[in-house]
């Protein structure tokens, strides 16, 4: 009986994990201790060859992490539902991955956040051949490539000057892209612009794209390219509270019928929203409270469409009253995306900010395409508002508590 009681207690007693902090640095080594004074290298830490357990945090110290010619660092870390592994940039510092990340199986329950992903090699100046792989283009791809993993999150990343921002495929299941700022990617070809903010396909589980700022500038680029041929799946997407502007489409659809597409509270400026492409039929989609200015909405071949509160203003239409929106960040207190439709032509607009900051709080306001340059504005909240510069009819900023 005593042996049975001991066995029962061993099963019933929860295992308490003690979370640990580990550190990597641009000058770190694989045989170091992984402490702040003796940091690891980034490649061995992300690849799972170091002792990083569920619940641990891997801190990337300030600086630039670069490797050539195999420029993308592979991620193969495994947490669990109760104890995620966090990969974070050092707080308040610029942490740059010059070359990109590649997430592969067996990655699970990993949060990658607060990093800059870019490519430092200059864009070629000569015209490019047509197609997505011009032979004369030797510049690294860069960006975030997600080829596998379950229940991973990619949070508050800044992705720019890569050949493509995010490449996110169906082997990645139940994962989120949240709060990311993606701009300036791609290249001009002789046929069209190439390289999208997000190129993605999905079958099992749900992919969430939320609270991101997406900017494409070349004809032929897309802000979201959830697309594939008749052999590819484009199912189970939730896209909400995103801002897309500049050029291109926000496209979800391909050659195979899609289902379970949810598009909510997105702001699109000079970007068309299209659900469905050339599939003969699609199953179900939902469009709730989206705002489309200087763009169009196409919902193609869907059997069931739920559409509520979506506003569409075409080229010569606009409201009469200036509007502002504040989209708080769920993972960083005091951070939000601020959007102002400056229809009345004011030089600045008072934006109510009480759900993010309190009176007396200091803040900085960033142009999302210049996150590491001087802020557009340093200020203090007064009377519950932030006075935001509004030089154009559409203005978007990243606000952060200082």
Residues 335 and 384 in one domain: yes
Confidence of residue 6 (pLDDT cuts 50, 70, 90): very low
CA distances from 261 to 1, 133, 242, 251, 311 (A): 56, 30, 15, 11, 19
Residues 247 and 356 in one domain: no
Host H or E run for residue 308: strand 302-308
Q: What is the mean pLDDT of residues 81-95?
A: 97
Residues 6+ apart with CB under 8 A from 198: 165, 166, 168, 177, 182, 209, 212, 214, 223, 224, 225, 226
C-alpha 185/C-alpha 192 separation (Å) is 14
Residue that is last in its domain, among 268, 291, 313? 313
For residue 394, what pLDDT is reported? 96
> CA 381: distance to chain centroid?
28
Contact 110, 75 (CB under 8 A): yes
The verdict on residue 131 lying in a domain is yes
Give the chain's end-to-end CA distance (angstroms, integer).
62
For residue 221, the domain's CATH number is: 2.160.20.10
Contact 65, 37 (CB under 8 A): no
Q: What are phi and psi of 89, to 5 degrees?
A: -75, 145
Q: Which residue has the higher pLDDT, 16 or 146?
A: 146
The verdict on residue 77 lying in a domain is yes
Residues 300 and 329 in one domain: no
Strand pairing of 213-215 and 181-183? parallel
Residues 258 and 181 in one domain: yes
Handedness of CA 209, 326, 110, 66 (dihedral sign): positive
Host H or E run for residue 3: helix 2-12
Host H or E run for residue 193: strand 193-194
pLDDT higher than 80, residue 12: no
Q: What is the mean pLDDT of residues 106-131?
A: 91
The verdict on residue 151 lying in a domain is yes
Residues 293 and 334 in one domain: no
Domain count within the chain? 2
Span 307-335, pLDDT tens digits: 999 999 877 777 878 999 999 999 999 99
Residue that is last in its domain, among 289, 313, 337? 313
The verdict on residue 111 lying in a domain is yes
Confidence of residue 17 (pLDDT cuts 50, 70, 90): low
Confidence of residue 247 (pLDDT cuts 50, 70, 90): confident
Structure tokens at 214: 């997406």
Q: Name which of 43-47, 113-117, 309-313, 396-400 the model is least confident about.
A: 309-313
Confidence of residue 16 (pLDDT cuts 50, 70, 90): very low
Q: To the nearest whole number, what is the mean pLDDT of the chain?
A: 93
C-alpha 206/C-alpha 220 separation (Å) is 27
For residue 57, what pLDDT is reported? 98
> CA 402: distance to chain centroid?
22
C-alpha 235/C-alpha 206 separation (Å) is 8
Residues 274 and 300 in one domain: yes
Q: What is the mean pLDDT of residues 226-244?
A: 97
Burial of 238 per CB tally in 10 Å (0-12, 13-18, 19+): middle
Confidence of residue 5 (pLDDT cuts 50, 70, 90): very low
The verdict on residue 318 lying in a domain is no
The verdict on residue 147 lying in a domain is yes
For residue 118, what pLDDT is reported? 98
- Give one word for 167, left, alpha or beta, with left for phi > 0 and alpha for psi -120 to 50: beta
Q: Which residues pair with 86 in a beta bridge?
A: 57, 111
C-alpha angle 264/339/351, rounded to 5°?
A: 120
Q: Which residues of 358-383 are buried (b: 16+ CB within 10 A; e: fewer)?
A: eeebebbbbbbbebeeebbbebebee
CA-based nearest residue to 58, from 93, 100, 97, 88: 88
Contact 73, 97 (CB under 8 A): yes
Contact 206, 236 (CB under 8 A): yes
Residues 37 and 130 in one domain: yes
Residues 294 and 335 in one domain: no
Q: Which residues pair with 211 in a beta bridge?
A: none
The verdict on residue 172 lying in a domain is yes
Q: Name which of 11-20, 314-323, 348-357, 373-382 the model is least confident about.
A: 11-20
C-alpha 58/C-alpha 89 separation (Å) is 9
Residues 348 and 217 in one domain: no
pLDDT higher than 70, residue 304: yes
Q: What is the mean pLDDT of residues 116-128?
A: 87
Span 24-58, pLDDT tens digits: 999 999 999 999 999 999 999 999 999 999 999 99
Structure tokens at 64: 């630039």
Residues 336 and 271 in one domain: no
C-alpha angle 53/59/62, rounded to 5°?
A: 160
Contact 119, 164 (CB under 8 A): no
Residue 73 belongs to domain spanning: 19-313
Residues 99 and 209 in one domain: yes
3-state SS, residue 12: helix
Q: Name which of 74-88, 186-200, 229-243, 380-394 the model is least confident about.
A: 186-200
The verdict on residue 47 lying in a domain is yes
For residue 349, the domain's CATH number is: 2.60.40
Residues 208 and 348 in one domain: no
Locate all alpha helices (DSSP H) within 219-365, ordered by sequence.
none
Residue that is last in its domain, among 313, 347, 378? 313
How many residues are recorded in the chain?
Answer: 402
């Amino acid at each position: 009986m005593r042996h049975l009681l001991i066995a029962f207690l061993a099963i019933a007693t929860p295992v308490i994990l003690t979370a640990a902090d580990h550190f990597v640095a641009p000058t770190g080594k694989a045989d170091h201790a992984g402490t702040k004074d003796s940091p690891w290298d980034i490649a061995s830490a992300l690849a799972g060859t170091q002792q990083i357990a569920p619940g641990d945090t891997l801190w990337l110290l300030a600086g630039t992490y670069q490797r050539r010619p195999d420029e993308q660092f592979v991620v193969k870390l495994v947490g669990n539902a109760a104890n995620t592994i966090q990969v974070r940039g050092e707080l308040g510092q610029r942490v740059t991955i010059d070359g990109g990340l590649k997430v592969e199986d067996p990655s699970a329950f990993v949060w990658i956040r607060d990093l800059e992903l870019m490519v430092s090699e200059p864009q070629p100046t000569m015209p490019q051949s047509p197609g997505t792989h011009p032979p004369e283009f030797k510049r690294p791809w860069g960006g975030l490539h997600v080829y596998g993993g379950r229940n991973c999150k990619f949070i508050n990343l800044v992705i720019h000057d890569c050949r493509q921002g995010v490449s996110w495929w169906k082997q990645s299941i139940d994962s989120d892209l949240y709060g990311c700022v993606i701009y300036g990617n791609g290249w001009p070809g002789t046929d069209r612009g190439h390289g999208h903010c997000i190129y993605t396909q999905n079958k099992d589980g749900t992919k969430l794209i939320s609270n991101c700022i997406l900017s494409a500038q070349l004809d032929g680029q897309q802000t979201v390219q959830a697309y594939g041929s008749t052999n590819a799946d484009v199912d189970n997407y939730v896209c909400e509270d995103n801002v897309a502007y500049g050029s291109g489409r926000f496209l979800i659809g391909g050659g195979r019928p899609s289902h379970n597409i949810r598009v909510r509270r997105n702001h699109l400026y000079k970007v068309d929203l299209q659900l469905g492409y050339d599939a003969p039929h699609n199953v179900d989609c939902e469009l709730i409270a989206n705002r489309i200015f200087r763009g169009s909405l196409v919902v193609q071949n869907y059997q069931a469409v739920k559409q509520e509160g979506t506003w569409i203003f075409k080229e010569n239409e606009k409201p009469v009253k200036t509007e502002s929106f504040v989209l708080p960040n769920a993972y960083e207190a005091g951070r939000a995306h601020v959007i102002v439709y400056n229809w009345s032509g004011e030089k600045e607009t008072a934006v109510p900010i009480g759900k993010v900051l309190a009176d007396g709080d200091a803040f900085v306001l960033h142009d999302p395409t210049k996150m590491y340059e001087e802020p557009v504005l340093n200020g203090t909240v007064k009377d519950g508002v932030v006075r935001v510069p509004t030089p154009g009819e559409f203005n978007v900023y990243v606000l952060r508590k200082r």
